[in-house]
Amino acid sequence: PFAIFGDAIPASLTESVGDADRGQAVFLDRDRGHCVLCHAVDGLEARFQGNVGPALDGIGARLNEGQLRLRVVDYTPIDPNVIMPSYFRSDNLHQVGQAYEGQTVLSAQEVEDIVAYLMTLDGAPS
């Protein structure tokens, strides 16, 4: 359970702090987040980065953790017509295989890890 306030989910989904290294791994993983299918990050060593979604360079400077969390959990409250998957929603979904009904794509910890990774994309030299 989580609460949306405006365009954000301010509270963490877990008791554990997100880990940026694990988040980057999920961001790249074809079987989990696979965010690079649609998004690009300058300097990220990943082949075939996408251009369907916006580039995420500097996203950590433009949005706060709560705003990023909502966008990963479920972008539809912000834009009902978005094509981005809802990574932590399990209800009111369409074309879900029977074996996956009632499940989320990512765990709460994986969401927090991706948020931690995205927060590192603040435009500052690494």
Q: How confident is the model at residue 28 (pLDDT cuts 50, 70, 90)?
A: very high
Any idea what DSSP says for residue 8?
A: B
CB 23 within 8 A of CB 37: no
The 10s digit of each residue's pLDDT in 44-87 is 888 889 999 999 999 999 999 999 999 999 999 999 999 998 99
Which residues pair with residue 5 across a beta bridge?
A: 8
> For residue 35, with 0-12 CB atoms within 10 Å meaning exposed, 13-18 middle and 19 or more buried, which class applies?
buried
Q: What is the pLDDT of residue 32?
A: 87
Q: How confident is the model at residue 126 (pLDDT cuts 50, 70, 90)?
A: low
CB 55 within 8 A of CB 41: yes
